[in-house]
A = this chain, B = another copy of it.
Amino acid sequence: MNILCLSGSLRTASINSMLLRATARLAPGDINVSIFNGLGELPLFNPDLEVNLPASVATFHRAVAEADALLFASPEYAHGVTGTIKNALDWLVGFEPFASKFVAVLNCSPRAHHADDTLRETLRTMAAVIVESASISIPLLGAGLDESAMVGTPSVAGAICEALRALQDAVVSRRGSLTAEFPIR
């Protein structure tokens, strides 16, 4: 069970990136949570480049293809998604392994709904399956918690672990239904 985390912020002290690193530390032994650190190296999307895919994009595609689920955490900039997260998604439009992928969207700043709404709209349009029970709001903005403090705060750590379990349940439940429909004999 592989979960790939994507942060929409490139800032070193990003709360969203910290939340994802805390998530990786909190992951139970049967869930492998990794963070994709190459979003900042992706070129700005240009359909003309798709015929000869830049290496950074090919690496990103491979990581997405290998993941059972994707976990997003991204700030809101000027009532919109960040250019960084949208650019990453632009490179996944039409990338077949992304369609019907399970995804969850964490929101560190529950009062900011524009970026959250817009990101979900785009994900749905790209045929991802948003796991609502794993897409939780954790009011971290202004809470002054760093990564270790998140791990050490029971309410935060508990919410993160529940989100991971919900994502895992979605993946396992699909595997079950696929096996039931298409038994390997």
A residues lining the B interface (CB < 8 Å):
10-12, 39-40, 42-48, 77-90, 93, 114, 118, 121-122, 124-126
Contacts and interface: CB of A to CB of B under 8 A. Distances in A.
A122 B79 contact: yes
Contacts of A87: 44, 83-84, 86-87
A77 B48 contact: no
User: Copy number in this complex?
Assistant: 2
B83 A83 contact: yes
B77 A93 contact: yes
Contact of A89 (B45, B78, B121): B78
Given A42-B44, A47-B11, A77-B93, A121 B114 contact: yes
A83 B121 contact: no
Contacts of A126: 78
24 contacts: A10-B46, A12-B48, A40-B43, A40-B44, A40-B46, A44-B44, A44-B83, A44-B84, A44-B87, A45-B77, A78-B89, A78-B122, A78-B126, A79-B125, A80-B89, A80-B122, A81-B86, A82-B86, A82-B90, A83-B86, A84-B87, A84-B90, A86-B86, A114-B121
Given A11-B47, A82-B86, 8 more contacts: A10-B45, A10-B48, A11-B46, A45-B77, A77-B90, A78-B89, A80-B86, A84-B90
